[in-house]
Amino acid sequence: MFDRERRLYADMYGYARQLVADVPDEELAEQPAPGLNHPAWTLGHLVIAADYALQCLGARPATPDGWAALFNTGTVPDPNRAAYPSKGELMNAYEAGHAAVDAAAAAADPGRMARPNPVDALRPRFPTLGDLLGYLLTTHEAAYLGQLSAWRRVVGKKGVTV
């Protein structure tokens, strides 16, 4: 299930790796503009989103303990680099989350995906659990990677071709 969305999700994984390939660990929490999400927070948030996707799919979440408090929706990025996991930890968790979501989405139960979206605020846009999953695998991921791309430009790094 979710064949097209899974292909796009895999493509965005590759794009994310390109976006951070030349970003040193010590720069991951730089905030060159007020309110701009930095790479450490953005990557961690996408790990948390993968965990939520796994929960929706009925699979076991894989996020390390304590990460939800750092990266959930509504948290504010902290410019203190020491507040976040290392680049290696972030990328390993991002890769593991992507792999787990891909496997769970491939095996998704169509009956489960037809259930109503449990998030009241998102239900008008995404009525079913399957619609919400499609959003998490595509639009949500792309929106946050776009923020990471914008961050690169603001700190003076070259753009990355999608």
pLDDT tens, residue by residue, 72-112: 999 999 999 999 999 999 999 999 999 999 999 999 999 99
d(CA 50, CA 32): 27
Task: Give the confidence band of 161 by pLDDT, cuts at 50, 70, 90.
Answer: confident
∠85-29-83 over CA atoms, to 5°?
A: 40
d(CA 12, CA 132): 18
Q: Picking from 2-11, 97-106, 133-142, 153-162, which range would have the lowest pLDDT averaged per residue?
A: 153-162
d(CA 114, CA 131): 9
DSSP line for 80-145: -GGGS--HHHHHHHHHHHHHHHHHHHHT--HHHHTSBPS-GGGTTT--BHHHHHHHIIIIIHHHHH
Residue showing tokens 């203190």 = 80
Which residues 6+ apart lie within 8 Å of 64 measured at CB?
A: 85, 89, 93
What is residue 80's predicted lDDT score, i.e. its pLDDT?
95
Residues 19-38: tens digit of each pLDDT:
999 999 999 999 998 889 99
Domains with residue ranges and CATH for the chain: 3-154 (1.20.120.450)
What is residue 132's predicted lDDT score, i.e. its pLDDT?
98
